[in-house]
Amino acid sequence: MDLKNKKILVTGADGFLGRHLVKNLLEKRGVLKTDLFLPTIDELDLTKWEDCVKAVGGQDVVIHLAAKVGGIGFNQEKPGELFYDNLMMGAQLMEAARQVGVKKFVAVGTVCAYPKHTPVPFEEKDLWNGYPEETNAPYGLAKKMLLVQSQAYRKQYGFNSIFLLPLNLYGPGDNFNPESSHVIAALIKKVYDAKKAGKDFTDVWGTGIATRGFLYVEDAAEGILLATESYDKGEPVNLGASLEISIKDLAELICRLMDFRGEIKWDKTKPDGQPRRSLDVKRAQKEFGFMVKTDFEDGLQKTIQEFTERFSKV
């Protein structure tokens, strides 16, 4: 599918991933701004059916990025909202898109959909072999229902919907709000605050033993668009890098890159989340040629630089 001259709805376009994806569409793929529909949550509330109908009218392609999402603390505080809002947005938007004849629906899920004790690296075939990690299960399962819906609609209606599973994202423009940020952004903010306050330590949740993989946001945007252009099958696809790093090593790396020589104090009363997380990424490479281009440490440097420049002005 050539995305030029297509009418494209991008939900969540004003979010972290959305901004990078829209930039890619405009600058790399030459899509006209007038062909993009980028409603904000203030303009359309996708938990409401009538707003979903308005959103998809006249569109050829829907790229569904919108989500209510946060880190472990946010997941613990608002599990009901995370389940309901994400489920309703996805289910209603896809049904509305089907009814009006949208040519392709791109559902962006989450690595949180995987079972808690999935063999590492996570392969798509293991997606249903257990229950997700408890702190993010409501969010992960709500997003996972998009895969069920995609496959059911493909079977009954011939509806072209695909489902992607991106790793934890990071990069310039991330959400650094301590109440809802993910691990890399949270660690950068903690180290920055400790340095600014002249402290010789910073507190970090958990034991540091858990592992994670990460995907640079510009690579994620490119992967999603490659799939939009070239992937038309019902099987889910991981998007990510083969990297796996412990939270302890990650925290120490961020401290080094930010020249913070204080102590990291681990708050072991707080949860670690999923024990291990890393993706098998062979299917994305085989099906639509996606490979990560950004070195992890380089991506961290860019993230830290953008954060420092932004917050030094506050």
Picking from 161, 220, 180, 202, the residue whose alpha carbon sits closest to that of residue 21 is 220
Asked about 139 being catalytic, the answer comes back as yes
| DSSP calls for 138-163 | HHHHHHHHHHHHHHHHHHHH---EEE
- Phi then psi dihedrals of residue 143, to 5 deg: -70, -35
Pairing of strands 168-170, 214-216: parallel
Contact status, residue 55 vs residue 11, Cβ threshold 8 Å: yes
- Please work out, in degrees rounded to the nearest 5, the angle formed at the alpha carbon of residue 81 by the alpha carbons of 78 and 82: 80
Q: Which residues contact 21 (CB under 8 A, 6 or more apart)?
A: 10, 13, 63, 65, 221, 224, 225
Distance CA 258, CA 129 (A): 40
Contact status, residue 37 vs residue 10, Cβ threshold 8 Å: yes
Contact status, residue 296 vs residue 241, Cβ threshold 8 Å: yes
Contact status, residue 135 vs residue 183, Cβ threshold 8 Å: no
Catalytic residue (one of 114, 139, 216, 231)? 139
Catalytic residue list: 139
